[in-house]
């Protein structure tokens, strides 16, 4: 008897994560975690992974009516000099965050979790991003787009912030919020080159 194929579930409403996952050309459903994102971890990498696992656990519970669910969740944080930046609560906080990142190098870390059957597989990816100095006119122009308000670190690399991003070292999709290349690598490590046949 052939085992049921996995039903892929993305535990995120992020339009950026939805778009990136869709590039795998696999049908998936969205079920959100809807939890308060709090971690007791200290290291940035562990915080991102911990939050991704929390989301996966919550989505797994909500997806029990699905046949053989395979949950993918992610959590992205921005780090500068051990200070962690999440999503700004308003435009004023976004300006403060961008001001601190201006002219500096920072890290973008995304924790990812796969949860399926009785297994949990979690990992992270890290990308270094360099900002040019953001002058006052560029700052105001960017803030007026409201692009910063729903993104960790108060910016999205795929939007108008490209006017002050001078360099990235690592995965571009990781900075968007979902390290697609690393996700594929991890799926291959778990299930082999024919992993797509499981979905």
| Structure tokens that stand for 190 in this block | 């778990």
Identify whether 147 is a catalytic site residue.
Answer: no
Q: What single DSSP character describes residue 185?
A: H
> Are 139 and 95 within 8 A, CB to CB?
yes
Write the DSSP string, 17-54: HHHHHHTT----EE------------SHHHHHHHHHHH
Alpha helix stretches (DSSP H) within 145-179 = 172-176
CA 174, chain centre distance (Å): 7
Write the DSSP string, 49-101: HHHHHHHHHHHHHHTTTSSSEEEEEEEEEEEETTEEE---SSHHHHHHHHHHH
Q: Which residues pair with 165 in a beta bridge?
A: 131
Of the residues 57, 75, 81, 135, only one is catalytic, namely 75
> Are 187 and 195 within 8 A, CB to CB?
yes
Active-site residue numbers? 75
């Amino acid at each position: 008897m052939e085992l049921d194929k996995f039903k892929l579930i993305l535990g995120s409403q992020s339009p950026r994560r939805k778009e990136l996952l869709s590039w795998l050309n696999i049908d998936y459903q969205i079920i959100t975690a809807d939890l308060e994102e709090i971690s007791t971890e200290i290291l940035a990498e562990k915080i991102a992974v911990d939050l991704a696992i929390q989301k996966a656990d919550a989505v797994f519970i909500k997806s029990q009516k699905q046949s053989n669910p395979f949950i993918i969740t992610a959590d992205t944080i921005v780090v500068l000099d051990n200070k962690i930046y999440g999503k700004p609560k308003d435009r004023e906080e976004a300006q403060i965050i961008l001001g601190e990142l201006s002219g500096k190098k920072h890290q973008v870390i995304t924790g990812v979790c796969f949860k399926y059957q009785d297994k949990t597989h979690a990992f992270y990816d890290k990308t270094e991003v360099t900002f040019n100095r953001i002058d006052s006119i560029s700052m105001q122009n960017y803030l007026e787009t409201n692009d910063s308000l729903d993104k960790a670190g108060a910016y999205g690399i795929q939007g108008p912030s490209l006017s002050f991003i001078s360099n990235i070292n690592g995965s571009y999709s990781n900075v968007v919020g979902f390290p697609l290349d690393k996700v594929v690598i991890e799926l291959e490590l778990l299930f082999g080159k024919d992993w797509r046949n499981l979905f």
